[in-house]
Structure 1
Amino acid sequence: MVNRLLIKNFTIIDKLDIPIQPGLTVITGETGSGKSIILEALAATTGGKTDKIMVRSGTERAVVDSRINNNSFRRIIGKNGRSKAYLDDTPITLAELRKRIGSTIDFHGQHDQQFILNAESHIEYLDRFCGHKDKVRQLENIFYQLQESRQSLKDLHRTTSERKEKLELLSFQAQEIDAANPQPDEDHDLGSEYRRLNHLENILSFLNTLKGRLDNRENGLMNELIQLNKELSRLIEYDVGLQDLYDLLNSTTIQLQEADSEIREMLVKSEFDSEQLSSVEERLQALESLKRKYGGSLDAVIQTRKDIEKTLKSLSLTAKTDTDQEHLIYALEEEYKVLAKSLHKNRVNKADQLASLIEKSMQGLNMPGAIFQIRIITIPSDDSFISLDGAFVQALPSGMDKVEFFLSANPGEQLKPLVAIASGGEVSRIMLAIKTVFQEFDPVPTLVFDEIDSGISGKTAEKVAKQLLKLSQLKQVICITHLPQIVRKADHHLHISKTIHDGRTTVNAKYLHGQMSKNAIRELFIGDTVLG
């Protein structure tokens, strides 16, 4: 269980020290107040991805530290993007940190929704329920060994001359790619940087003009607004109805001050450098040349380099006899068939049980009459080595099975592929239903939800709130929400707000109780009839 989270100089957060209790903790706040940043910081302490942009402007490093089960897990992120991990003040590798965290925390966010909307991922949910992931990994190793062995056999059939010519060509291609050393998405990042640098003079000119319009002492917009608001504040004494207008103008002034601060920071950091522009342009040209030769995209270039490496290793191996290689392939095929058929049998036996549990959980989330089905199919293949019910089927890394979820969200509707018909609100509920099912079979002490309430409202929101509360009776649940129904069910209400002082943004976190919690709900959700 997470007991405490300390955040320092992380994105826009100066310093926060947040105690976290058992049960259901909800996090509320206006859009942009920093709610998701809190969860990003927690994820970083458990081995999540970090980046130099996470370091607060004007500081050297960011520190995030979570106390979990009486252990301190800390990440220190430098402004160069490098990070260090610590366990109770002892340096450890990131892999060791992730291993120690293990299955202590389960994060649910937009990535999970994208994952379940990819039909290729559905088999992973079923395999997790079946409890045979080790066997799946074993089968995957056999499958790839088979691929390499078959390729090696083909290589043995090539003449010495062909092998030599191919080695020379592949070696040249490998050297050409290695010399450029392309990185994933580098061309997109450089393209954005090139466009920025190419128009930097125009950008800086505009920013200087805008800065002059904002902060000019006599004629600047901020000065005029401040003066107008002073006049307005005096008039409130005679008409309290002007208070809302005063608050609105005051908020606008704060936003303009924040914009002015941001403009100043951008002007300080930005400086036109023709050499940098030329360097970026040259690098883009080098990457475009590689893309033209090796597949049309940078991902294709990188994959081509990996394929070249595999082929080079295969061609460089000491040649074995055809007979030895054929015996090896036969043995691997037999091993694959035994394991694949065992996995198939287990999946077939467990699919209906998992579907029934998910369907039952969905009914508790305001999806009455919904039908959830897990279908397992095989792909016919005449040139395969494995058969099922007398017909040869395609061998895949995880076996002979393709798994896909089907859904009928409303009574009378035909079952259709989940990925084709599920709405945003339905996906949120299905994910929560799956999380609930797996908590009973594969429990995790702490669940973290980043806006699980996306796309839902009304009675559905009430059902989701009850489900989260039910989960929190067995484990710690932390949830960002915009719904009053969920806030009212919470054991703890953490409210996030943002203020600006001396041109710097500060994020505040405070637990609300009683009337203060009700007032925060009313302020955030004013106009919702649920409030009564």
Structure 2
Amino acid sequence: MLELLHIENIAVIEEADIRFHPGFNALTGETGAGKSIVIDAMGAVLGGRTSRDLIRTGASKAFVSAEFSQVPADLPALERSGITPDEDGVLLLQREMLGDGKNQCRANGRPITVAQLREIGSQLLNIHGQHDGQQLLDEEQHGQYLDRFGRTEPVLAAYREQYGVLRALEEQIRSLQMDEAEKARRMDSLQFQISELERAGLQPGEEEELRERRELLRNGEKYLSALQGADYCLSGGDETDGAVAVLQNAENALYGIRNLSGEIMEIYQRLQQARCEVYDLAAIVQDKRQEFDFSPAELDEVESRCDLLYRLKKKYGATVEDMLAYLDRCRQELDAMETADDTLARLEQKLPAARKKVADAGAALTKARKAAAGELEKRILRELRDLDMNKVRFSIEFTPVAPGPEGCDAIRFLMSANAGEDLKPIARIASGGELARIMLALKNVLAEQESIGTLVFDEVDTGVSGRAAQKVAEKLAQVSRRKQVLCVTHLPQLAAMADTHFSVSKGERDGRTYTRVVNMDREQRKAELARITGGSRVTEALLESAGELLDAAETYRVSLS
């Protein structure tokens, strides 16, 4: 149950704390006062999409928090996010929206993503918006409503698995059923590419080695001259000692006194180590000098090989490794095409069995849906009777279609609003008020199937008036005995039926617009109901009528206890 909604800098609401109560909570106010902004704030803290325009003008960020009570610890979304309510079953959701579009979300102080917040929120509270009734006009949604009610998701998942296997099999067959001329052209192309790459004799890592060797050969004279100079300095010449000989002489000079002190011994040993190291370096330089063979012919060969790799890379891949991978793919594709007839025959043999599995899974899904449809029809009709639609008939039609991702049936809701009229698609005959009541009936039935504790109705009374409005109010009162109900309304019948009534009003201060949300007492409620009924001219008669409306609503609520 939603206990407290805290709002900061959302549109015209600078700051507000709305403490909701169990049962039926109603929000009323003038058009544009900010009632829908309260709903927008709820949607935001439950992970809904938001716009930067939602942030109050002049503010750098907006903040919303929602405190829920009686939250079960085993709620699936909480378990997946690693979050638990506190020991009293309280869960605090928070969302901060920054001007740069970034969001900071938390659940009981733990950081979570917007997606996690949305998943958690969807299992705590359901918002029925002003235009949700229009979803009934989209017949593609009807099957989804039926699946939710009948809980046919496991059967649907089993069907989709078999359907996916069939689609993959059909796709493989289509790819193998290539035009013979196109197949011949493709095979010629593959054979040419394979031959060209095989002739190249590509080796992993050779390109780096070639580049290094080419750079060395291009600078051969400079390289050899540098080695000769280093060799002369280290090993010396016919008339000059090199570094090795000079260090040997220094070592020999200290040999006789090396034992006179520890310090002399250390110097002697370091000279010895230095001579050994320089000796090794001199040997390495000599080896490099002797093994280097500068050949213009080799440079031409390396240049030619690099040029070949460059041309191949433009056609087959950015690196030698990529070209080798492409070669493997070409071989596999050619092999598959050469054996395509055998493969095609083998796959086509599997096709009847795959189609039968889809048909069987589709039949099981249809059976489950039809069983659910019969129960849903009864439940919807019962709800509609309660909503003063006594003459209405409601039916769910199944039309066989070719197997698709959603099954083997087209599902649509049919109704007849008047006695003697044939059943027809809802989109063709339902008025705005009828759509609103049918959607309310559907929401109530679906809510009974779910563990969601709070239902929010944003102007569910659209297109409804008079006796029908009273029936809608009574239905919401009945629902509120099982679940918490929050309702934004313009109808006095709905507002009077509420257990808790909030007034949403807008005013100005220091040139800025502000919205206030106030929990009203009985006298304030009478004045508000009189305003809703009569507009700006509130008379004693209207106030007396408002009082009678409150008394009648109280009597009805008591009868539900």
Q: Give the TM-score category using the shorter length.
A: 0.5 to 0.7
Instruction: Indicate if the aligned counterparts of 1:53 and 1:81 stay in contact, CA closer than 8 A.
Output: no
Instruction: Indicate if the aligned counterparts of 1:163 and 1:315 stay in contact, CA closer than 8 A.
Output: no
Per the TM alignment, residue 476 of structure 1 is displaced from its structure 2 partner at its CA by: 0.2
Q: Distance in 2 between matches of 1:165 and 1:116?
A: 56
1:173 is matched with which residue? Answer: none
SS in 2 for 1:67: strand
Letter in 2 for 1:375: E
Describe the superposition over 1:256-285 as per-residue Cα deviations: whole angstroms up to 9, x where unpaired: xxxxxxxxxxxxxxxxxxxxxxxxxxxxxx
1:124 is matched with which residue? Answer: 144
Deviates further, 153-162 or 475-484: 153-162
2:450 is matched with which residue? Answer: 442
SS in 2 for 1:99: helix
| Aligned: 1:149 with 2:173 | no
Q: Distance in 2 between matches of 1:132 and 1:412?
A: 34
2:80 is matched with which residue? Answer: none
Letter in 2 for 1:11: A
Q: 1:372 aligns with which of 394, 402, 405?
A: 394
1:71 is matched with which residue? Answer: 91
Instruction: Indicate if the aligned counterparts of 2:159 and 2:365 stay in contact, CA closer than 8 A.
Output: no
Instruction: Indicate if the aligned counterparts of 1:10 and 1:63 stay in contact, CA closer than 8 A.
Output: yes
After superposition, where does 1:267-346 map in structure 2 within 5 Å?
Answer: 321-323=343-345, 325-326=347-348, 329-330=351-352, 332-346=354-368
Instruction: Indicate if the aligned counterparts of 2:103 and 2:114 stay in contact, CA closer than 8 A.
Output: no
1:10 is matched with which residue? Answer: 10
2:372 is matched with which residue? Answer: 350
Q: Distance in 1 between matches of 2:495 and 2:332?
A: 63
Q: Distance in 1 between matches of 2:522 and 2:17?
A: 22
1:285 is matched with which residue? Answer: none
2:420 is matched with which residue? Answer: 412
User: Size of the alignment, in residue pairs?
Assistant: 372
Instruction: Indicate if the aligned counterparts of 2:139 and 2:411 stay in contact, CA closer than 8 A.
Output: yes
Describe the superposition over 1:24-66 as per-residue Cα deviations: whole angstroms up to 9, x where unpaired: 0001010001101101111111111111111111111111111
2:160 is matched with which residue? Answer: 140
| Aligned: 1:45 with 2:84 | no
Q: Distance in 2 between matches of 1:456 and 1:464?
A: 8
Q: Distance in 1 between matches of 2:331 and 2:21?
A: 59
Per the TM alignment, residue 452 of structure 1 is displaced from its structure 2 partner at its CA by: 0.5
Query: Does the C-alpha gap of structure 1 residues 329 and 95 become closer, same or farther in structure 2, counting only changes over 3 Å?
Result: farther
Per the TM alignment, residue 144 of structure 1 is displaced from its structure 2 partner at its CA by: 4.2
SS in 1 for 2:370: helix
Q: Distance in 1 between matches of 2:400 and 2:331?
A: 37
Per the TM alignment, residue 462 of structure 1 is displaced from its structure 2 partner at its CA by: 0.5
Per the TM alignment, residue 316 of structure 1 is displaced from its structure 2 partner at its CA by: 13
Letter in 2 for 1:372: F
1:84 is matched with which residue? Answer: 104
Gaps of 5+ in 2: 70-89, 190-328, 549-561
Query: Does the C-alpha gap of structure 1 residues 438 and 56 become closer, same or farther in structure 2, counting only changes over 3 Å?
Result: same
Q: Distance in 1 between matches of 2:45 and 2:497?
A: 28
SS in 2 for 1:36: helix
Q: Distance in 2 between matches of 1:32 and 1:411?
A: 40
Per the TM alignment, residue 493 of structure 1 is displaced from its structure 2 partner at its CA by: 0.4
After superposition, where does 1:456-495 map in structure 2 within 5 Å?
Answer: 456-495=464-503
Deviates further, 444-453 or 339-348: 339-348
Letter in 2 for 1:101: G
Instruction: Indicate if the aligned counterparts of 1:62 and 1:76 stay in contact, CA closer than 8 A.
Output: yes
Deviates further, 157-166 or 72-81: 157-166
Per the TM alignment, residue 99 of structure 1 is displaced from its structure 2 partner at its CA by: 3.1
Instruction: Indicate if the aligned counterparts of 1:142 and 1:332 stay in contact, CA closer than 8 A.
Output: yes
Per the TM alignment, residue 437 of structure 1 is displaced from its structure 2 partner at its CA by: 1.9
Describe the superposition over 1:382-438 as per-residue Cα deviations: whole angstroms up to 9, x where unpaired: xxxxxxxxxxxx112121111111111122222211111110000111111112222
| Larger gyration radius, structure 1 or structure 2 | 2
Q: Distance in 1 between matches of 2:391 and 2:467?
A: 16
Per the TM alignment, residue 165 of structure 1 is displaced from its structure 2 partner at its CA by: 13
2:526 is matched with which residue? Answer: 518
Query: Does the C-alpha gap of structure 1 residues 512 and 502 become closer, same or farther in structure 2, counting only changes over 3 Å?
Result: same
After superposition, where does 1:164-313 map in structure 2 within 5 Å?
Answer: none
Letter in 2 for 1:436: N
SS in 2 for 1:135: helix
Query: Does the C-alpha gap of structure 1 residues 80 and 162 become closer, same or farther in structure 2, counting only changes over 3 Å?
Result: farther
2:24 is matched with which residue? Answer: 24
Q: Distance in 2 between matches of 1:161 and 1:56?
A: 67
SS in 2 for 1:96: helix
Letter in 1 for 2:364: S
Q: Distance in 2 between matches of 1:365 and 1:315?
A: 68
RMSD over aligned CA atoms reads 2.8
TM-score scaled by length of structure 2: 0.62
Describe the superposition over 1:210-258 as per-residue Cα deviations: whole angstroms up to 9, x where unpaired: xxxxxxxxxxxxxxxxxxxxxxxxxxxxxxxxxxxxxxxxxxxxxxxxx
Query: Does the C-alpha gap of structure 1 residues 502 and 368 become closer, same or farther in structure 2, counting only changes over 3 Å?
Result: same
Per the TM alignment, residue 338 of structure 1 is displaced from its structure 2 partner at its CA by: 2.1
Q: Distance in 2 between matches of 1:324 and 1:2?
A: 60
Query: Does the C-alpha gap of structure 1 residues 377 and 38 become closer, same or farther in structure 2, counting only changes over 3 Å?
Result: same
Letter in 2 for 1:353: E
Q: Distance in 1 between matches of 2:351 and 2:330?
A: 18
Query: Does the C-alpha gap of structure 1 residues 52 and 144 become closer, same or farther in structure 2, counting only changes over 3 Å?
Result: farther
Per the TM alignment, residue 152 of structure 1 is displaced from its structure 2 partner at its CA by: 3.1
SS in 1 for 2:8: strand
SS in 2 for 1:400: strand
Q: Distance in 2 between matches of 1:342 and 1:515?
A: 59
Describe the superposition over 1:430-455 as per-residue Cα deviations: whole angstroms up to 9, x where unpaired: 11111222233334211000000000
Q: Distance in 2 between matches of 1:340 and 1:18?
A: 49
Query: Does the C-alpha gap of structure 1 residues 448 and 164 become closer, same or farther in structure 2, counting only changes over 3 Å?
Result: farther
Instruction: Indicate if the aligned counterparts of 1:52 and 1:82 stay in contact, CA closer than 8 A.
Output: no
Q: Distance in 2 between matches of 1:316 and 1:26?
A: 71
Per the TM alignment, residue 164 of structure 1 is displaced from its structure 2 partner at its CA by: 10
SS in 2 for 1:150: helix
1:297 is matched with which residue? Answer: none
Query: Does the C-alpha gap of structure 1 residues 163 and 475 become closer, same or farther in structure 2, counting only changes over 3 Å?
Result: farther
Instruction: Indicate if the aligned counterparts of 2:155 and 2:364 stay in contact, CA closer than 8 A.
Output: no
Per the TM alignment, residue 510 of structure 1 is displaced from its structure 2 partner at its CA by: 0.4
SS in 1 for 2:21: coil
Q: 1:509 aligns with which of 514, 517, 532?
A: 517
Gaps of 5+ in 1: 167-313, 380-393
Q: Distance in 1 between matches of 2:8 and 2:186?
A: 58
Query: Does the C-alpha gap of structure 1 residues 330 and 458 become closer, same or farther in structure 2, counting only changes over 3 Å?
Result: same
Instruction: Indicate if the aligned counterparts of 1:406 and 1:417 stay in contact, CA closer than 8 A.
Output: yes
Letter in 1 for 2:14: D
Deviates further, 107-116 or 443-452: 107-116
Letter in 2 for 1:143: Y
Q: Distance in 2 between matches of 1:317 and 1:82?
A: 48
Describe the superposition over 1:183-220 as per-residue Cα deviations: whole angstroms up to 9, x where unpaired: xxxxxxxxxxxxxxxxxxxxxxxxxxxxxxxxxxxxxx
Per the TM alignment, residue 370 of structure 1 is displaced from its structure 2 partner at its CA by: 1.1
Letter in 2 for 1:97: L
